[in-house]
Structure 1
Amino acid sequence: MSREKLIEMTRSLVAHGEADTMELADEVVGVPASDYTDEERFELEKERIFKRMPLMVAPSCELPEPGCYKAMEIAGIPVLVTRQKDGTAQAFLNSCTHRGNPVAEGSGKATRFTCGYHGWTFKNDGDLLAVASPKDFGTVDKAQFCLTKFPTLERAGLIWATLDPRSTLDIATYLCGYDEMLEHFGFKSWHLFEQRTLPGPNWKTAYDGYLDFYHLPVLHKDTFGADFFNRANYFAWGPHQRLASPSTSAQKTGSDEIVDLTKIAEEDWPIDALTQGVWTIFPHISIASFYGGGGRGAMISQLFPGKTVGESFTTQFYVMENEPEDEAVRQGAHDQFAFLETVVADEDYTTGKRQHEALQAGMMDKVWFGRNEGGGQVFHQWVDRLIKADDAELDAIFAPQLEAAE
C-alpha cells in the first residue's frame, strides 16, 4: 500500500511538471511575529511539544550494535539512548536514581554505566546492578531504582522517544502511517558516514527553511544556482510532511543519470524518483537524499531548541546506503557533506539569525506564508494546535490521521 502511495504522489508530481503548475494553499496566511520572539511562548513550545511529542532521537545506524549508546540533552532533559543486549533500542532519563547525576557522557559502547558521583552501577538495559558500599548505604529494592525509561519505538531505521515516562500517546499512532513511507529509504541497513552539530536561530525559523523551496534560487543562488527549482507540492500525514518539486524527471538510482519519468512504466520508476524531495518529521527532523561521489546517501537533520528563544542547534547525520569502500566515493561523500554545511550554516542559518534579530525589534505584527508555502502554514497550525491540546486529547488528535493514512 505504501509503495502505491509513493507512485500516486510521483504521478501527481509528473502531471504538475508537465503542466508547469503546482498545488497551492487556499490563501496567504499570517503568523504572529511574536511567535518567534516571545520567551513565554518559547518555554511553552518546549513544554508542550518537545517534552510531550515523540522525537526522533537517533538514526538506527548511530547505534549499530548491542552495547552502543549516546548521551544527549533535549530541552533541558538529559537523555541516554542505548542498544540493549537483545538488539532493541531504549531511551532513559540520564540521571542516577540515587542523586540524579548523569550516568553517561558522549557516546560509545558499554555494557554498564557507573555514576561518577557515588559509584552506583546500572546495566545497559537500565537495571540497577550494584550500590556502592551496600552495607553502609542500607538495604534497597534494586528493582525500584532502575533508570527511568522513556517510551521508545524503532521504525524505518529511526529511533523515537517521548520524554515523558507517563505519556499515554502511542508513538506509532503519532506517526500517522508516515513511518511506512520512510521504510522505503531502507535506513535500517544504512551506514553512518559522518555527523556534526551546528548552532542555529530560533527553532521555528530554522524549521521553516526545511519546509520551503521558494527560497532556493534566491538565497542559494551561489551554491545551488539561480535556476534551481523553487516550487514544491506538499503531502501530509498528520503534522509530518513531504515536499517535492513538480517534475517529469528524476535521478536514476545508483548513478548521476537523470531519467524522463514520462517514458518509463510506473512500476519501473526508480526509488529516488519515489522518495525525492524533503521529508520532515514533526517537530524537528528533515531528511533529504544526496549523492556523494556516486554513493547514495541522505542528510538527516535533527533540530532542537536552544537555551534561549533565539537559539537552536542541529545535528546533521550523513548516512549512506553502503559504507564507502572506494576512496573516490568516500571523498565524494565527504565533499557533499562539507558542501551542505556551507549551505545550511553560512546561508540558511546565518539568514535565520539576521531574520530573528530583525523580528526582535518588535516592528512587525506578522510574518507571511504564501499560497506556494503550504508546508509552513501547516507546520505553524500544528504547533498552535498541540500547544493548546491537553494530554488526554493527543490520541484523539492523531488516531484519525492514522486511520486516514490506512
Structure 2
Amino acid sequence: MASLKEIHGKMANDPHFSHDHGSTRCIWVPGPVIVGAGPSGLAAAACLKDKGVPSIVLERADCIASLWQYKTYDRLRLHLPKKFCELPMMPFPEGYPVYPSKQQFVGYLEDYAKRFGIKPVFEQTVESAEYDECVGLWRVRSLGLKGAEMEYVCRWLVVATGENAEAVVPEIKGVENFCGEVKHTAEYKCGSVFRGKKVLVVGCGNSGMEVCLDLCNHDAHPSLVVRDSVHVLPREMLGRSTFGLSMWLLKWLPIRLVDRFLLIMSWLIFGNTASFGLDRPKIGPLELKSKTGKTPVLDVGTLAKIKSGDIKIHPSIQSIGNHSVQFVNGRVERFDAIIFATGYKSNTPFWLKDKEMFSEKDGMPRKPFPQGWKGEYGLYAVGFTRRGLFGSSMDAKRVSEDIEKLWKAEARHLSMTIGRSLTLQR
C-alpha cells in the first residue's frame, strides 16, 4: 500500500488514481466514502457536492433506496407529511399528496440522485472499514460482482447504512417445524395471495398494523401478536398531522404536557385502547420515543378493524407447531401463515471496525441525538437519529459543513506543499 506522502504526490497529477495491491484493486478517494445509497446516503452526497466536496457512494444492492424498492409492501405510504420527509435542497413535487406513496417516494429519490449527479457504485458489499493509524486514512474493503475485491482509501468515512439494514426475526420455539408460509415483512408485498387464509402477524408497530389492514382489505383473516404496550395515535388531529402538531406544540410546551394533550385527544377519538387489547405504556408517546426510540403507531384504519373483530389480538407466542401456534395464555390456534413484522436493525457491528462511535450491541451511535453524527478520525454517521428522514437531513447538513472546513484546510495545505515542491525544482 502506498504511503500517505506517495498518495498525495500521485494525487497532485491524478486525483482518482488507483493501483492493484495483490488480488485487491485499491482506489484513492480524495473526498469521503459514503456507505449506503438510501435516502441518508443520497442526502449526504448532495450536501457535500453543494459544498464543493466530491464523494463516492458504495451500495450493496443494484439500485438506490433498495429497502424501499425491494423490501416494502405495496400499500406503503410515508407515515409523516411530505414536508417532514424532504431531502435537503429539493422539495417534493407540488402535485404529490400529503403522504406520498412508496412509488412516488422512490421516484422522488431517483430524481434527487439525477439532479445532484449522484452515481453510486452498485453491488459493492462493504465487508470491513478500518482506520489505519499509520497513514491516517480509512481502508474500506468491499466485495463486488464475481467476487472482485476492492479497497477504497479515504480521509473521511460516512456511515449511511441506517437503522434498518437487516431484518430482525425472533427465535421462537418450533418455528422451523411450521408447515405454512413464514416470512418477514421485508418479503411481504400484498395481501391478495393470502385471500381466505388465517394469518398471524407478529409485531404491532406501524408495519404490523398496516399489514393487518392490508390483509383485511384482501379478505384474509389476520391476527396480531401484541407482546408489549403500544401507543396508537391518530395520524391527524384538529385538521393537522399529529407529528406536525406535536412539533409545533413542543416549541411552547414541555414534552410531558404535549404528551398529555396527545393522549387526551387519542382517548376522545379512539376510546380506551386497552379495552380491545392494546395497553398503553406508562410513559407518554413523545417521551418514550425520545428515551427508547420506540415510535408510536399512527393509525390509518387498523384500529377500526380491531374494534370490529376483523383483526384479533393475541399475547406473546410460547411455541409453534406444524399447523398451530400456542400463546402464553395457553390458547392454541391454527394458522396458514406467519408474518414477522419485527422490524430491522443496524448492521454496523458486522463491518465497521470502530468500537468508539457505534455500540456493538445495537449498531447505533453511543452518543444520543443530536451528538451522534460525528466520531473520531473523520468518521461520520447519517440516518441513525431514530427520527426518520427529518433526522437524516439534519445529519447530512452537519456532516457536509464539518467536512467542508477540513476539505478546504487540507486543500490549502496540499496546494502550499506542491507549490513549495515546484519552487525547489526550479
Task: Give the TM-score band, short-chain normalised.
Answer: under 0.3
Which of 1 and 2 has greater Rg?
Answer: 2
Greater strand content: 1
TM-score, with structure 2 as normaliser: 0.23
TM-score, scaled relative to structure 1: 0.23
